[in-house]
Amino acid sequence: METSRRPDHEPAAPSLGGSPQVPAEPLLAGRTALVTGAASGIGRACAQALASAGAHVHVVDRSGEAAKSLAEEIGGTAWVVDLSDPAVVDTLPADADVVVNNAGIQHVAPVHEFPPDRFALIQRVMVETPFRILRRTLPGMYERGWGRVVNISSVHGLRASPYKSAYVTAKHALEGLSKVVALEAAEYGVTSNCVSPGYVRTPLVENQIADQARTHGISEADVVGRVMLERSAIKRLIEPADVAEAVLWLCGPRTGHITGTSLSMDGGWTAN
């Protein structure tokens, strides 16, 4: 049964003067969000931000304990699935008004040594799964006349680095998928954008810092400043909450004309 939802049009702008205003309802009150890779890092921050804005969040992750704990914390629903199996997408809810495609994995090796099965796995998780999720959820957004798709891309969706062929390929593909959805979905009140951060302080990156420090015999601070952020003008890691705030902004009432774009959060990397 279809639940009651907010009217399809965007809310009117608040008054800038006059009598005191009645507090507005939460930004995403009555909306449903689906976030993949939601149990940690960027995904966790996005799930928390969307829930704080009033959305019911489907927390999708393969880490069962972490997903269930977060869902309980934010009043959402946990879906413990392995997105490397494309068939599991059909077990996920199709009623999301907001989709955040965030799940990702990494493998670093030169092309001539890159394991083909690992390359294929990364494309399944980071390209095919977002496609399947959108194929499942877009019809409902179209029917309701409103929706927000936010794909967590990367500076590597816009630039390349050596030894990351699978990741760079996947992120470039995700950028392309996002643009196609933007063109197809515009007439239905649905936007599609990428948020493309540089290095974010996530468990994955923290592990990379420690590994590179050991490998190169340098301090972790030098790994961050001299290796990871060499091409960035701002020499500090991005916090997951900052990425989540950008995602939430793209879901707001003043961004209905922002679609088919990539919001860079790379500290000036792509300006170099």
Residues classed as catalytic: 167
Residues 6+ apart with CB under 8 A from 68: 78, 80
Distance separating alpha carbons of residues 212 and 154, to the nearest angstrom: 20
Question: DSSP of 31-89, one letter per residue?
Answer: -EEEEESTTSHHHHHHHHHHHHTT-EEEEEES-HHHHHHHHHHHT-EEEE--TTSGGGG
Length of the chain: 272
Distance separating alpha carbons of residues 136 and 269, to the nearest angstrom: 35
Distance separating alpha carbons of residues 191 and 98, to the nearest angstrom: 10
